Each structure stands twice: as structure tokens, then as C-alpha cells.
Amino acid sequence: MEIPDPFATFVAERDKDSKLPKYDYFAKEWSMITACCETELFAANRKMLTKIRLYHTRNECMGGY
């Protein structure tokens, strides 16, 4: 049986309702909820997540403007 990491649990609880990028200690990836349409995005690191978010907002939610 795996014992949950108290810090990871704390972070998950704290960030549960946050739309800021957050790190998933279990999946080992970053995720965030976009402000534009509340789609959940995932990336291997925070820099990629920002790129994906910008791409998403610009091309998928604003039609490329």
C-alpha cells in the first residue's frame, strides 16, 4: 500500500480550486485550467505549459487573431 506524500496532498488540496499552473506529483506533469474556456491543459514542464496555453488561447479560443 502506498502512503500519500503529505506535502503532495497539501499542494493538491491548496491548488484544487486554483486556475494557476500546478504540478501533479503523481502524474509528474504540469496542468492548469484555462481562463478562456476552462479546458484543462497538460505539459511536461511549466515553460511548455505556458506555450500550450498561449497557443490554445490564440488559436483555439480566439480563432487565430
Residues that bind Zn ion (CB under 5 A): 34, 36-37, 61
Q: How far is the CB of 9 from Zn ion (least distance, A)?
A: 29
Q: How far is the CB of 36 from Zn ion (least distance, A)?
A: 3
The two counts, helices (H) then strands (E), for the chain are 2, 3
Burial class (CB within 10 angstroms; exposed 0-12, middle 13-18, buried 19+) of 50: middle
Q: Which is nearer to Zn ion, 12 or 43 (CB)?
A: 43
Q: Which is nearer to Zn ion, 37 or 54 (CB)?
A: 37
